[in-house]
């Protein structure tokens, strides 16, 4: 009781603010590594910590010693393992964007992205030119952006078409789009290992499906064999999309103002 009586209202406010700031910083750090390989590494580190606590509780001296050694050098390991994420956090801090909320492009810019993307997809589909476009959403795709050639240019139909022209260096990879910017082209994506995928689907479809199984991205695929337009989301692939359905998907799934699920998903036009 004496301890509580010595705590003033200002002390309580300061402690409350301190907890809020630490919580916010941890949240921002989690958003930085979400959707990257660092998540799996973080899970492995948590297993090591759990093993150290368990071995200490059970009195397993040898295992406890090994775990304590791993914990001793854990700080250095964190700096090495999470170097890309730490660098990205420092860059954002330097730009003043670490403590700011991520903003969607305004409606005019977003509409331009839809129009330019649909125009490019229609052009590629008519000529049966294979393409794979990935739209980043909440889950960061920096790990996959780094596997390609950085572009960081405004999304336009001309640029997208030129990227996927056959026999060009970036033709076989994926284009990753963040908001209204083409971040990179020629990116490598993880292939899905789902045994129930249709045998008709090629590498592009498997790559789009594989990434959608790991992240919340939206992937658009143009088949090189048939010219059909497909879309992958949440580990599901939807094939033979019409121009109207493609526009509806973009409007419902990517436009930030829309909160209700698309009627396209209600209809559930999906194929294995």
What does residue 201 show for φ and ψ, rounded to 5 degrees? Answer: -80, 135
Q: Is residue 177 part of a domain?
A: yes
Per-residue pLDDT tens for 104-139?
A: 445 677 788 888 999 999 999 999 999 999 999 877
pTM: 0.60
* Residue 175 banded pLDDT, cuts 50, 70, 90: very high
Half-sphere exposure of 248 (CA within 13 A, CB side): 13
Query: Which of 37, 32, 63, 36 has its CA nearest to residue 50?
Result: 63
Same domain flag for 154 and 255: yes
Reported as a single tens digit per residue, the pLDDT across 22-67 is 888 787 777 666 655 566 667 777 887 788 788 888 888 887 788 7
Please identify, among 45, 66, 95, the residue that sits at the C-terminal boundary of a domain.
Answer: 95
Three-state secondary structure call for residue 154: strand
* 56 burial via Cβ count (<10 Å: 0-12, 13-18, 19+): middle
Same-domain pairing of 90 and 115: no
Q: Which of 95, 124, 147 is the last residue of a domain?
A: 95
Distances (CA, A) of 234 to 40, 89, 111, 159: 19, 27, 24, 27
- Based on the domain organization, do 128 and 229 belong to the same domain? yes
Residue 47 belongs to some domain of the structure: yes
Confidence of residue 243 (pLDDT cuts 50, 70, 90): confident
What residue numbers bound the domain in which 50 lies?
7-95
Task: Look at residue 229 in the predicted model and tell me its pLDDT.
Answer: 94
Residue 272 lies in a domain: no
Q: Is 100 part of a structural domain of the chain?
A: no
Statement: residue 178 has pLDDT above 70: yes
pLDDT value, residue 234 = 86
Q: Which residue has the tokens 């420092």?
A: 90
Q: What is the pLDDT of residue 56?
A: 81
Last residue of a domain, one of 60, 95, 130: 95
Calculate what percentage of the chain has a pLDDT beyond 70: 74
* pLDDT confidence tier of residue 198, bands split at 50, 70 and 90: confident
Asked if residue 78 is part of any domain, the answer here is yes
């Amino acid at each position: 009781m004496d301890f509580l009586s010595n705590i003033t209202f200002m002390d309580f406010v300061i402690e409350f603010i301190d907890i809020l700031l630490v919580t916010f910083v941890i949240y921002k750090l989690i958003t930085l590594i979400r959707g990257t390989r660092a998540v799996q590494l973080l899970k492995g580190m948590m297993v090591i910590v759990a093993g150290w606590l368990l071995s200490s509780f059970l009195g397993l001296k040898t295992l406890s010693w090994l775990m304590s050694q791993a914990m001793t050098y854990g700080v250095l390991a964190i700096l090495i393992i999470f170097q890309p994420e730490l660098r990205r956090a420092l860059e954002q801090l330097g730009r003043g964007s670490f403590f700011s909320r991520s903003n969607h492009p305004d409606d005019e810019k977003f509409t331009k992205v839809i129009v330019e993307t649909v125009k490019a997809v229609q052009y590629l589909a008519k000529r049966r030119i294979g393409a794979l476009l990935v739209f980043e959403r909440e889950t960061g795709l920096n790990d996959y952006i780094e596997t390609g050639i950085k572009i960081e240019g405004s999304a336009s139909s001309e640029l997208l078409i030129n990227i996927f022209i056959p026999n060009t260096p970036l033709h076989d990879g994926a284009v990753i789009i963040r908001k209204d910017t083409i971040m990179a082209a020629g990116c490598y994506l993880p292939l899905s290992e789902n045994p129930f995928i249709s045998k008709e689907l090629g590498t592009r479809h498997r790559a789009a499906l594989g990434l959608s199984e790991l992240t919340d991205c939206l992937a658009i695929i143009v088949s090189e064999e048939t010219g059909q337009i497909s879309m992958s989301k949440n580990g599901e692939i939807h094939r033979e999309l019409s121009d109207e359905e493609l526009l509806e998907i973009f409007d419902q799934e990517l436009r930030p103002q829309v909160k209700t699920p698309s009627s396209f998903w209600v209809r559930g036009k999906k194929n294995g």
